[in-house]
Amino acid sequence: MRPMNGEDVTKAVDGCLAVLGPVAGRDWEGVRGSGLEWSCRKTVEHVAGALISYAGQLAGRPQDAYTPFGIEIDEGADNAGLLEVVRTTGALLAAAVRTTPPHVRAFHPYPFRAADREGFAAMGVAEVVLHTRDVAQALGVAYEPADGLAEAVLGWLFPHVQPGPAAWPTLLWATGRGELPGRAPVTEWRWRNNLVLPAERLDLVGLRPAVARDLRLGGDGGLDWLEGGPYEGTREAAGFMVKAYEGGVHRPEFGVFALVRKEDGRAVGGIGFHGVPDEDGRVEIGYDLVEGARGQGYATEAVRALADWALARDDVASLFATVERENTASQAVLGRAGFARVSEDDGSGAEFAYELRR
């Protein structure tokens, strides 16, 4: 797996300083960043402001808004001094990422009003590499980020974007900065942090493509699993999610979620959708639990949380699930969550079908 971390932020900043440092003596104020309304100077100031803002969000962990502070560059600071500010704010974000516990989230508006440490690291890296490119191109110098950074940003912030033949051109295309053969130009874009749905004792943590790929390949996805996890159903669901991502049809909110226990941060199972809602607003769900977490009501809690979220949407009218005839425990979970059995028990089928309507 390729998780985002503080070292990635440092690597991105080092690359920025390496390419812009040698041209710091040039006029940045009188030249606009490539494709931007800002000058090169203003663009680099924006990078420093974004880095310190993300560090502040992780340190203070506000849940409803940005912490109301900003950054001010000393009057008279030259371009070399501005790059030192970028170095410093990058170091602060890297430190905040390293010291923030897993699954702690703070406010960020896009698109689900929260991000975790990996999300803030990825956003910081994205700000650095994209705007370094904007400034470098405007000043006529070559730039490409360090190996792996563009691919990591795509996997952690652009799960809705089909991977291209190379990561850096794909990231430039996805942010309206370039072209890809066979794809229409991008004129509006947003990155997407993962969705987390809170329940009473659990958080339903949306899996990013990089995490799903690691689970599919037999890894732990960077999660601290209860002994015996993840269950095979979660790995299989992660594999289907990766196929959808690689095929360009993945909708992150209708993906797979890890069930993470709030009391200790341990993953105890998985839940998710088998695809997007059909034209009638019908969508199938599935779930499983690590054996040691069964019999404690976690599955019922997770199904209720997922159903409440889904049925509050305009594009979902009903949820359904299929359960093997012998799996009476799972049938009881669906019953407690409000699902009704809609298949006849005539002994002809291996599974029962359950449905919950809005």
**What is d(CA 101, CA 190) in angstroms, rounded to the nearest whole number?**
26
Identify whether residues 159 and 15 lie together within a single domain.
yes
Residue 207 placed within a domain: yes
Residue 278 placed within a domain: yes
Identify whether residues 165 and 208 lie together within a single domain.
no
Residue type, 57: Q
Residue 322 placed within a domain: yes
Compute CA distances 294 → 201, 251, 288, 297, 320, whole Å: 14, 29, 9, 7, 22
Identify whether residues 45 and 154 lie together within a single domain.
yes
Residue 188 placed within a domain: no
Phi first, then psi: what are they for 202, rounded to 5°? -125, 155
CATH of the domain at 274: 3.40.630.30
Q: Using the 3D structure, point to which of 124, 143, 174 is the last residue of a domain.
A: 174
Q: How many CB atoms within 10 Å of residue 348?
A: 7
Residue 32 placed within a domain: yes
Residue 219 placed within a domain: yes
Identify whether residues 239 and 121 lie together within a single domain.
no
Identify whether residues 96 and 170 lie together within a single domain.
yes
**What is d(CA 330, CA 51) in angstroms, rounded to the nearest whole number?**
46
- Could you tell me the mean pLDDT of each successive run of 10 residues in the chain, 358 residues long? 88 98 98 98 98 98 96 96 98 98 93 96 98 98 96 95 96 97 95 96 96 95 94 95 95 96 97 96 97 96 98 97 95 97 76 95
Specify whether the CB–CB gap between 302 and 273 falls below 8 A.
Answer: no
Q: Please give the sequence-ordered ranges of beta strands (E in DSSP) within 37-187, or none if there are none.
A: none
Identify whether residues 106 and 251 lie together within a single domain.
no
pLDDT at 241: 96
This prediction's pTM:
0.94
Identify whether residues 39 and 161 lie together within a single domain.
yes
Identify whether residues 133 and 203 lie together within a single domain.
no
The two tokens of residue 98 are 């390293």
pLDDT at 348: 63
Among 321, 84, 63, smallest CA distance to 196 is for 63
CATH of the domain at 140: 1.20.120.450
Q: Using the 3D structure, point to which of 143, 174, 205 is the last residue of a domain.
A: 174
> How many domains, the chain?
2
The two tokens of residue 356 are 């919950």
pLDDT at 27: 97
pLDDT at 3: 79
Range of the domain at 56: 6-174
Identify whether residues 240 and 107 lie together within a single domain.
no
Residue 189 placed within a domain: no
Residue 181 placed within a domain: no
pLDDT at 346: 58
**What is d(CA 45, CA 148) in angstroms, rounded to the nearest whole number?**
25
Identify whether residues 204 and 133 lie together within a single domain.
no
Please, is 74 exposed, middle or buried when counting C-beta atoms within 10 Å of its C-beta (0-12, 13-18, 19+)? exposed
Identify whether residues 61 and 134 lie together within a single domain.
yes
Among 204, 259, 254, smallest CA distance to 231 is for 259
Identify whether residues 123 and 201 lie together within a single domain.
no
